[in-house]
With several copies, the nearest count.
Chain A
Amino acid sequence: MFLIGVDEMVHEWALAESIADYIERELSKKGKKNIAKIVIKLGILQSIDKEILDFALKEIIKSRDYRVGEIVYEDEEVILKCRRCGYEWRINPSQLDEAIREAIHFVPEAVYSYFKCPRCGSRDFEIVRGRGVSIKEIILGDNNE
């Protein structure tokens, strides 16, 4: 979200579309037309706006030839781990400088240009968890509709 015009037009829309496409492909592989439930993991590093993502995803799904029962979002906290000294730490993007938070919002790997290990100063750290949007689970529905 940055220079937002209409809420639903922000970049979460692009991510929602990729999820919708993924669902569509999974369904067509299995010859089905609806899923009962999808669980989407939101790594908080990316500061995704859940309401906007949800709105966009539902709008896109409406326009498609399949149905989705329940959409569940699970937040995942961020853990970073230094490969050099082994130190593990957490960051909370909501406390970051707005410009940095925005950069990481679009491309989470920008974290490598703003963070280093608090113990040894290395930038060679792993995003152990909490990077961004991913699909955790899709539970297919029955096909009779």
Chain B
Amino acid sequence: MSDPRLLVIPKRLAGVKKIYPIMSSKGGVGKTIISTLLALTSSSLGCKTGLLDLDFTNPSTHIVLGVNPWEQEIIEEKGIIPQLVHGIKYLSITIFTRENPTPMRGEAVVNAFRELLAITQWGELDSLFIDTPPGISDEHLELLTYLGDKLEVVIVATPSPLAIKSVERLAEILLEGNYKIAGLVENMSDKPKLQKLAENLRIDYLGNIPYVKDIDEKIGNIELLRKTPIWEKVLEIVNRLLGNK
């Protein structure tokens, strides 16, 4: 650990009680929507909540939140302070890259990760939710390797055969490294089908979120999202996660 930035990152997160990265090696299973709604529902329960978008080369939590990256403002105070969006402390690389394409090789991802986390002052938070990209590469390894002790990973999967293999591979990495797994969320699924899988992997089953056909029309509008069954289900899940039930 010869990178000075790695020394201050734990300090920047010292006031954060729980960090929940939302992961799945498979893309398109709902990580972005779920991480954003986990943050929003947690905040709606009165918890101090943060949301960090780590999908540097394809950031999209701002689209779910309805935030225009061209209007985000950088607030400097012994670092930078995440902006308050719908009550949550929100940080995405789009505050710097706007809507431009940002292809990054692994080395650049590592630098962006460390720089961003070294300068961001999260303050006091009950929970910080982190949206992660698909795959298992630099973003995930930086999180696990340097913040592993503080993490409780939320795994997202759909009941598709393409997604299930991915869950098994991800769970194997987490289990053998003794990382904490908060549980498995089953998305786009009207009935719970992955309880058995969770049981076999010995991870908590957090619940299933139904497939909602017209969800795309509601993305970007919190008031509309709040009225969907997805919100309701995520609220149940966040209650379970935060130990409220």
Direct contact of A and B (CB under 8 A): yes
Residues of A within 8 A of B (CB): 1-5, 9-11, 13-15, 17-19, 21-22, 25, 83-84, 86, 102-104, 106-110, 112-114, 116, 120-124, 131-132, 135
Interface contacts beyond A106-B115, A107-B93, A113-B96: sample of 11 additional A-B pairs, CB < 8 Å, sorted by A:
A10-B78, A13-B78, A14-B8, A83-B145, A84-B148, A106-B74, A107-B96, A109-B115, A116-B177, A124-B103, A132-B115
Name the one of B5, B74, B97, B145 contacting A18, with C-beta atoms under 8 angstroms: B5
A-B contact pairs, 11 of them (CB 8 A): A2-B75, A3-B73, A14-B80, A14-B118, A25-B7, A84-B148, A106-B74, A106-B80, A120-B178, A123-B177, A124-B144
Residues from 114 to 130 in B contacting A, C-beta threshold 8 Å? 115-116, 118-119, 121
Name the one of A10, A116, A124 contacting B76, with C-beta atoms under 8 angstroms: A10
Interchain CB contact under 8 A, B8 and A21: yes
A2–B76 CA distance with the chains assembled, in angstroms: 6
A27 CB → nearest B CB, Å: 13
Is B98 part of the contact surface with A, judged by Cβ < 8 Å?
A: yes
A11–B8 CA distance with the chains assembled, in angstroms: 13
Interchain CB contact under 8 A, B77 and A123: no
Chain B positions 49 through 80: 1 when the CB is less than 8 Å from some CB of chain A, otherwise 0 = 00000001000000000000000011111111
A13–B177 CA distance with the chains assembled, in angstroms: 35
Is B14 part of the contact surface with A, judged by Cβ < 8 Å?
A: no
Is B176 part of the contact surface with A, judged by Cβ < 8 Å?
A: yes
Q: Using Cβ atoms and an 8 Å threshold, which residues of chain A touch B8?
A: 14, 17-18, 21
Interchain CB contact under 8 A, B102 and A116: no
The interface stretch among B32-40, B104-112, B150-158, B195-203 is B104-112
Beyond A15-B118, A113-B100, A116-B176, whether A3 also contacts B148 by CB under 8 A is no
Residues from 172 to 207 in B contacting A, C-beta threshold 8 Å? 173, 176-178
Is B161 part of the contact surface with A, judged by Cβ < 8 Å?
A: no
A71–B173 CA distance with the chains assembled, in angstroms: 42
Chain B positions 16 through 57: 1 when the CB is less than 8 Å from some CB of chain A, otherwise 0 = 000000000000000000000000000000000000000010
Interchain CB contact under 8 A, B7 and A3: no
A5–B80 CA distance with the chains assembled, in angstroms: 12
Interchain CB contact under 8 A, B144 and A108: no
Interchain CB contact under 8 A, A112 and B104: yes
Interchain CB contact under 8 A, A11 and B111: no
A107–B8 CA distance with the chains assembled, in angstroms: 16
A25–B3 CA distance with the chains assembled, in angstroms: 12
A71–B83 CA distance with the chains assembled, in angstroms: 34
Q: Using Cβ atoms and an 8 Å threshold, which residues of chain B touch A18?
A: 4-5, 7-8, 118
Q: Give the nearest-CB partner of B141 in chain A.
A: A124
Is B101 part of the contact surface with A, judged by Cβ < 8 Å?
A: yes
Q: Give the nearest-CB partner of A85 in chain B.
A: B145
Beyond A15-B118, A19-B4, A114-B100, whether A109 also contacts B173 by CB under 8 A is no
